Chains A and B, each alone.
Chain A
Amino acid sequence: MEYFLKLFLSGTAKGSIYALIALGYTMVYGIIQLINFAHGEIYMIGGFTALILGGFFFSNSMPVWLVLLFSVLLSIIYASAFGYTIEKIAYRPLRGKPRLSALISAIGVSIVLQNFVLLAQTEKFMPFPSYLPEFSWLQPYKEYINSTQLIILGVTAIIMVFLTLLIKFTRIGKAMRATAQDMHMAQLVGVDVNQVISVTFIIGSSLAAIGGVLICSYMGQINYYIGFVAGIKAFVAAVLGGIGSIPGAVLGSFILGWTESLGTGYISSDYEDAFAFVILIVILLIKPDGILGRTQRQKV
């Protein structure tokens, strides 16, 4: 039982890592039905920005919480700028074209960004300092969960609630929902669709940057390729939960995390990916739109 609990908690921690990235995926998809493959790279760039800024601030002997605050804020700004620009350059010109074009463009952006960081920064693995506080009261339970995992879990929950509220109750949220339902109609009633989509990308990229800082702090290392592996898993999680749905992305991530963790614990880690994809296939067979996905009606 104790073993099960440990595996369950490690699955939860893993799930919240996936969820941090999956939330951004699902949000962009929910509004413009585009799978933004570059999302994983934005997450990586967020992490790198924090690494560089953190090194700079630390060398100026700032207190850790200030370093964390500044690095996170600045990497959010930097990553959002990337997200905004990518949308403008790579996706907007393809709006209204076949959906496959934008998808291929997204894959292209992802490769360009990876190689940009590879060339402009380094091909090596870099140590990532921990910006996050250690809770001493958690020390007795360290076999179960550590401070960083708890923080990631907490941040995921906060972001999920924040996004849900944003979309349900604010003006921009209403505009997002309108754009998601029918872009032309939204334009006709006076919604500035371009602005709404830009804001969506900015929010999505900010989430990726937060994820980058937290997850890299947890892993203790960073390299230009980390966005790819994490991005694929987060994408699977988002599809599992019903892509486009915010609670769905979180639920899908947890299911993925638990499956992998329990599969590893009770069967073998050799088949970790196999468990993930088997569960994806099973759920898609039963519910083709994912667990919390809305059934898409054919528009006529």
Chain B
Amino acid sequence: MKRTYMLLAVFALAGLMVFSGAQNAFAAPTIKIGVAGAHTGDLASYGLPSVNAAKLVVKNINDKGGINGQKVELVIEDDQCKPELATNAAAKLVSAKVVAVIGHICSGATKAALGIYKDSKIVTISPSATNPPLTQSGEYPNFFRTIAPDDAQAKLAATFLAKTLKLKKIAVLHDKGDYGKGFAELVKQYAEEYGVQVPLFEGINPGAPDYSAVVNKISNAKVDGVVWGGYHPEASKLVQQMKDKGMNIPFISDDGVKDNTFIEVAGKYAEGVYATGPTDTSTNALAIKAIEEHKKTFGTEPGAFFLNAYAATQALLNAIEKAGSTDYNKIVAALKSNYVDTPLGHISFDQKGDIIGFGFSVYQVKNGVFVELK
């Protein structure tokens, strides 16, 4: 079965090449963009929305006459999110002479393919690979992504408490779970890098009826802020017991708390609590438009990472246009120096290739709703 698909894909691809070659025999050569990710297999639902996004953006740009007089053409490769298939896909894209790649989807597959792209000087923009070292190791100067890395949330929380709230000494608590403890450890690490003292770092038992002992401990540590890594049921007990004891220091937490249930349960105690969460795109006009386009063209609601891939393709095409050529160095420079309006917002990339202008935002509970702090 799999073999048949593969065969079909190869034929389809070959047909596409012949066809497009024939059509463009007298026009300027097309700009080829690869789209790689899981398009079959159990993670296909993560990869297919990106293909749709790339198709929509490319169609829009070709309808307007393409970039610098050249039409854009997509070359689509499946990696099933498997590293060994990702290297195959990458090799195929390289031999198809693509200028850049939108992908891959999974971090592992992305990492496997990146080496090949790097050697062939191909810009790669992933809509979904969140593994921090992909950008932070500095190993892949050709890599960009339109999603915040896994540690961005903790970094944002630490920056916020150190720079905006100007806290000097904080207590960091967590629920001993993977998510909560991971967040707490990173916040502690980044906060300490900013020179914030962390005299108290502890896990508490989720579900316990009473946290007054640990609240006493916080008050005894004389800190000026509390960070909580975990979910909302414990967060609401903690803020309640802190405020009951007359402690009015900032309480900063994560996406697990940025949930309306937290406000419902904690009620008046929720007021003023800070939480980080993904930047809200639901009111972005371009996001609404992109989703509409998807519904019109494909008849369904877009899936995971659709907007990220949409923004990645837009940013890439914009960079090629600004660079005025398909030269690798020029595209990389253009990606880092230009801002683009995308469904994710007004974005660009930093020196390491991480997205600027989209990611996590800090929210605060004001009058019973989470309000994004700008």
A interacts with B = yes
Interface residues of A (CB under 8 A from B): 3, 6-7, 10-11, 13-14, 17, 124-127, 142-143, 146, 149, 215, 218-221, 223, 225-226, 229-230, 233, 260-262, 264-265, 268-270, 272-273
From B205, B246, B269, give the contact of A272 (CB < 8 A). B205
CB of B267 within 8 A of CB of A270, answer no
CB of A215 within 8 A of CB of B205, answer no
CB of A220 within 8 A of CB of B237, answer yes
CB of B209 within 8 A of CB of A269, answer no
What's the least CB distance linking A155 to chain B, in Å? 15
CB-nearest residue of chain B relative to A271? B203
Distance of A11 Cα from B207 Cα, bound (Å): 17
CB of B216 within 8 A of CB of A3, answer yes
Contacts of B219 in A (CB 8 A): 6, 143
Check: B244 CB closer than 8 A to any chain A CB. Answer: yes
Contacts of A7 in B (CB 8 A): 213, 216-217
Contacts of B214 in A (CB 8 A): 264, 269
Distance of A146 Cα from B242 Cα, bound (Å): 11
What's the least CB distance linking A106 to chain B, in Å? 21
Complex interface: stretch among B39-47, B149-157, B258-266:
B258-266
From A17, A146, A225, A269, give the contact of B207 (CB < 8 A). A225
CB of A124 within 8 A of CB of B244, answer no
Check: B330 CB closer than 8 A to any chain A CB. Answer: no
Contacts of B267 in A (CB 8 A): 127, 220
CB-nearest residue of chain B relative to A221? B265
Check: B240 CB closer than 8 A to any chain A CB. Answer: yes
CB of A125 within 8 A of CB of B212, answer no
Contacts of A226 in B (CB 8 A): 207, 209
CB of A10 within 8 A of CB of B213, answer yes
CB of A10 within 8 A of CB of B216, answer yes
Check: B233 CB closer than 8 A to any chain A CB. Answer: yes
What's the least CB distance linking B45 to chain A, in Å? 25
Check: B84 CB closer than 8 A to any chain A CB. Answer: no
CB of A265 within 8 A of CB of B209, answer no
Distance of A225 Cα from B220 Cα, bound (Å): 32
From A3, A221, A262, A269, give the contact of B237 (CB < 8 A). A221
CB of A269 within 8 A of CB of B233, answer no
CB of A215 within 8 A of CB of B265, answer no
With contacts A146-B244, A270-B203 known, is A17 near B209, CB below 8 A? yes
Distance of A121 Cα from B140 Cα, bound (Å): 52
With contacts A6-B216, A265-B217, A270-B202 known, is A220 near B265, CB below 8 A? yes
Check: B111 CB closer than 8 A to any chain A CB. Answer: no
With contacts A142-B244, A270-B202 known, is A261 near B213, CB below 8 A? yes
From A126, A225, A260, A268, give the contact of B265 (CB < 8 A). A126
CB of A221 within 8 A of CB of B205, answer no
With contacts A215-B209, A264-B213 known, is A269 near B202, CB below 8 A? yes
Interface residues of B (CB under 8 A from A): 176, 202-205, 207-210, 212-217, 219-220, 232-233, 236-237, 240, 244-246, 261, 264-267, 269
CB-nearest residue of chain B relative to A128? B265
Top 10 closest pairs, chain A to chain B, by CB: A10-B212, A261-B213, A264-B213, A229-B207, A270-B203, A6-B216, A127-B265, A14-B210, A269-B202, A10-B213
Give me 16 other A-B pairs in contact (C-beta within 8 A), A127-B267, A215-B209, A226-B207 excluded. Answer: A3-B216, A7-B216, A10-B216, A13-B210, A14-B209, A14-B210, A14-B213, A17-B210, A124-B261, A125-B236, A127-B264, A146-B245, A221-B233, A264-B217, A268-B202, A270-B203
Contacts of B240 in A (CB 8 A): 220
CB of A269 within 8 A of CB of B217, answer yes
What's the least CB distance linking A75 to chain B, in Å? 18
From B216, B245, B269, give the contact of A265 (CB < 8 A). B216
With contacts A125-B265, A219-B237, A221-B265 known, is A269 near B212, CB below 8 A? no
CB of B205 within 8 A of CB of A273, answer yes
Contacts of A127 in B (CB 8 A): 264-267
CB of A221 within 8 A of CB of B236, answer yes
Contacts of A14 in B (CB 8 A): 209-210, 212-213
From A3, A125, A260, give the contact of B233 (CB < 8 A). A125
Most B CB contacts (10 A, CB to CB) among A10, A13, A142, A265 go to A10
CB of B204 within 8 A of CB of A272, answer yes
Distance of A269 Cα from B265 Cα, bound (Å): 24
18 contacts between A and B (CB under 8 A): A3-B216, A6-B216, A127-B265, A127-B266, A127-B267, A146-B244, A218-B209, A220-B265, A220-B266, A221-B233, A229-B209, A261-B212, A261-B213, A262-B213, A264-B213, A265-B213, A265-B217, A272-B204
Distance of A221 Cα from B245 Cα, bound (Å): 18
What's the least CB distance linking B340 to chain A, in Å? 40
What's the least CB distance linking A212 to chain B, in Å? 11
Contacts of B265 in A (CB 8 A): 125-127, 220-221
From B205, B233, B245, give the contact of A142 (CB < 8 A). B245
